Chains A and B, each alone.
Chain A
Amino acid sequence: MTINRRTFLKGTAATASAGLFSSSAWAEDPIGVASIHDLSGGLDIYGKPMVDALTLAIEEANAAGGLLGRQLKLINYDTQSNMQLYTQFAQQAALKDKVAVVHGGITSASREVIRPVLDRFKTLYFYNTQYEGGVCDRNQFDTGVTPAQTVEKLVPYAMKKWGKKVYVVAADYNYGQITSQWVKKYVMENGGEVSSIDFFPLDVTNFGPTISKIQAAKPDFVWSALVGGAHISFYRQWAAAGMRASIPMASTTFAVGNEHIVLSPEECNGMLVCYNYFQDLKNPVNEAFVASFHKRFGADYPNITELAMGTYQGFRLWAEAVKKAGSVDRLKVIDALETGISIDAPSGKVTIDPPTHHCVLDVHIAEVSDKKLKVLEDFAQQKPADTAAVCNLIKNPNDNQQYVIKI
C-alpha cells in the first residue's frame, strides 16, 4: 500500500480516536458486529437485503439473551458503492470500534479491498456473497456458494435442455472474469463450446452491438454473469429485440438483486438460475424464518435474496462458534469454526468446511416464472470443490491468496 498524505492522516486519525474513546472496555460492553455493505449507489440492490438479514439475525440473538451473556451491537457502515470507503470503514471497524467480527463486502472487488485490511488488523472477516471461489485466507470465512457448487450443476442442466453452444456475457472485474472461466471449463467438460465471452464495465447501458453479435454467433443459449443496476438494461434490450423467445438464458447473478421483480415477466420468464437459497423453499426452518422476516420488515418485502440468506447464515455460524469457543477472541473463534461447525439454516444444513473456510450446503436450480423463482431440482450438501482443489488451511494456515482458475 502506498501511503500518501490523505491515507496517512486517515490512519493516524483513526488510531488516535481509537486511543481516546475506547479505553474503557469492560466485560458487560455489547459485542460489536460490523456490517460493511453498500446501502446506496448502484450496488444497493444487493446490500439492503443483506443488512436487513443481519439486523434480524442480531435482534433474534439479543432476544435470546445475547452471546456469552453479553448483548450484540450492530455497527452499520454504508460504503455507498465506493471502493475507497471500504478501506476506510474496515480500518474504522477494526481500530476504532474494535468489533469482534466484520460481515461485509458485496462485489469481489470490495472483498479484495477489505480482506488485507482486516488481515493486518487481525479482525475476523465473514464474506457472505456467492462469488467466483478460490479465496484462501485463515482470517476469512466464505458462506456464499462458488462455481463448483452452482455452475457445475447449472451448465449440464441448461445444456441438456437447450444445446451445446454457449455465449457468455459477464461484468468486467474479477468476479465476471473468473466466473466466466468456470463456465467455460464446465461447458467444455460437458462436450460443449463457448463461442465468445464478452465483458462489460459496470456502467455500460447500451447492449445493442452485443445483441447483434450474439445473434450472429447463433448460440443455443446465453450465460449471464452481469452485475448491478446498469446491467439490467441488457435483459430489457434483449427482450425488446425479440430474442427472449428464440435464445434462452441462464445466469449466475440474475435474481440476486431481485432483477426478476424489477423486470416484467415477459422480459425474463424462463431464465435458469442456481443458488443456495430461494424464499419458497419448503422446510419448517425456512417457513418460520420467512414469517419472522416478514413480521420484522413487512409482508410486502419483495424477496429474501440469496445474499441476504448468506449473511444470515454467516452470522449464525459465527454465533455458534462463539458459543463453542466461549469467547469472542479471534483465534479461539477460528479454531471453533474449524471444528466444522454446522447449523440448521433456512436453506438446509450449512457446515463449515475446515480446510477451505467455505461451506458445505444445499443448492437448487430454479426458473424465473412470473416474478417468482420456481425450484426445479435440488442438490443436497454440495462441497466447495473448486477451492478445495487448491486450498488447505489446516495444512497451510499461513496461506493467504486468491487462487484463480487456469484453463
Chain B
Amino acid sequence: MDLVALLAIQVLYAIASLALISVGLAIIFGMMRVINLAHGEFLMLGGYAAIVATSHGISIWLSMLVVAPIVVGIIGVVVERTIIRFLYGRMIDTMLATWGLSLLLVGLTTAIFGNTTVGISAPLGSIQIGAYRTSAYTLFVIAVAVVTLGAIFAVMRWTRLGLIARGTMQNANMAAALGVNPPRVYAVTFGVGAALSGLAGAVLAPVSGVFPTIGVAYVAKSFITVIGGGAAILSGTVSASALFGAINQIATFVTTPVFGEVALLAAAIVLIRLLPQGITGRFFRRGL
C-alpha cells in the first residue's frame, strides 16, 4: 500500500515534469506556430541561471522561481526581436534559425561554464511514506507544475492580456484592425514561453544537474508532448503529459528505464497514428 502511494507520487512527478518542460514550447509552438528547436537550451539556461544565482548567495527559492524565469524571459524577448520576428510564417526557416541558435547557446555555455555537470542539492529533505522514503522536493515540483498551469489558465481565460493574445494568434490582421499591436504581442508571448522554459529548467536543475547539452534530453520529450497534445495549449499539454508520463513511469517501474522510454515513444507513435491532430484534435476541443 505504501508502495502504491510512493508510485502514485512518482507518476504524478513524471506528469508534472513533462508538463513543465513542455508548456513553454506549447505556448511558442501552439500559439505562434514557431518550431523552437532551441527550447532545450532555454531549459538549460534556466538551470544555469538558478545555479549561478544560488552560488552568489541568493536564496535557492528566489533563484529558481524568480531569477531564472526573468533571465530566460529576457533572453527570449531578445531572440524574438533579433531573429524570430523576421521569420514568422516561414516554418522551415525558423527551424533552421532556432537550431543554429541552439548550437550557439550550447557553445557559449560550454565556453563559459565548461562541459562538466554542475548542480545544487535538492532542498527540503525527504519524507516518510510508511516504510518508504522519497524526496520532498518531488512534491514541490508537482506543486510548481499545478500552480504554473493554473496561472496560465487564469491569465488566458480571465484577463484582457490573455484575450488579446488569443485573439492575435487566431487572426492577427483582425486584431490589428481592432487596435492591437501584433509584433508586441508576439514578443511578449515568446518571452513568456521562454520564461516558463527557464522556470522548468531551474526547478528540475537540483534533480538532474545541469550541463550544456542537457537540452537534448528534454527537447525530444517536449516536442512529443506538444505534438501529442495537439492544438489546445493547456488541455493538450496536460492530457499528453498525463498519458505519456504515466506510461513512462509505470513501465519504468515494472520493467527497466530503457523499456520505460521505449513505451513512451511507442505510445506517442500509436497516439499520432490514431489521432493525427493530437489528443485535443478529438477530445477537449473547446479547451484552452
**A interface list, Cβ under 8 A from B:** 40-42, 44-45, 172, 198-201, 203-213, 215-216, 229-230, 232-233, 236-237, 239-243, 246, 262-264, 266-267
A199: B residues at CB distance < 8 A = 256-258
Instruction: Please provide the chain B residues from 243 to 275 with a CB less than 8 Å away from any CB of chain A in the complex.
Output: 249, 252-253, 256-258, 260-261
User: Which residue of chain A is the closest to B216 with respect to CB atoms?
Assistant: A203
Residue from B117, B134, B256 within 8 A of A212 (CB atoms): B134
Q: Is the CB of A241 within 8 A of B257?
A: no
Decide if B92 is an interface residue (CB 8 Å cutoff).
Answer: no
Q: Is the CB of A40 within 8 A of B261?
A: no
Decide if B148 is an interface residue (CB 8 Å cutoff).
Answer: no
Residue from A211, A213, A236 within 8 A of B122 (CB atoms): A236
Q: Could you count the A-B residue pairs with CB atoms below 8 Å apart for me: how many are there?
A: 123
CA distance A263 to B20 in the complex (A): 26
A262 to chain B, nearest CB (A): 6
Q: Is the CB of B261 within 8 A of A240?
A: no
Besides the known contacts A45-B117, A242-B126, 7 further A-B residue pairs in the complex with CB atoms under 8 A apart = A198-B257, A208-B14, A212-B10, A236-B209, A243-B133, A262-B116, A263-B119
Residue from A201, A215, A232, A240 within 8 A of B257 (CB atoms): A201
Q: Is the CB of B253 within 8 A of A232?
A: no
CA distance A161 to B17 in the complex (A): 38
B236 to chain A, nearest CB (A): 22
27 A–B pairs (Cβ distance < 8 Å), ordered by A: A42-B211, A44-B115, A199-B256, A199-B258, A203-B216, A205-B217, A206-B17, A206-B257, A208-B10, A209-B257, A215-B131, A215-B132, A216-B132, A229-B209, A230-B209, A232-B117, A236-B121, A236-B206, A237-B122, A237-B135, A240-B122, A241-B133, A241-B134, A242-B127, A246-B133, A262-B118, A263-B119
B154: A residues at CB distance < 8 A = none
User: Which residue of chain B is the closest to A262 with respect to CB atoms?
Assistant: B117
A243 to chain B, nearest CB (A): 6
A226 to chain B, nearest CB (A): 12
Decide if B6 is an interface residue (CB 8 Å cutoff).
Answer: yes
B126: A residues at CB distance < 8 A = 240-243
Q: Which 8 A-B pairs have the closest CB atoms?
A: A242-B126, A205-B208, A240-B135, A229-B117, A240-B122, A209-B253, A209-B252, A242-B133
Residue from A40, A42, A205, A209 within 8 A of B10 (CB atoms): A209
B260: A residues at CB distance < 8 A = 209
User: Which residue of chain A is the closest to B126 with respect to CB atoms?
Assistant: A242
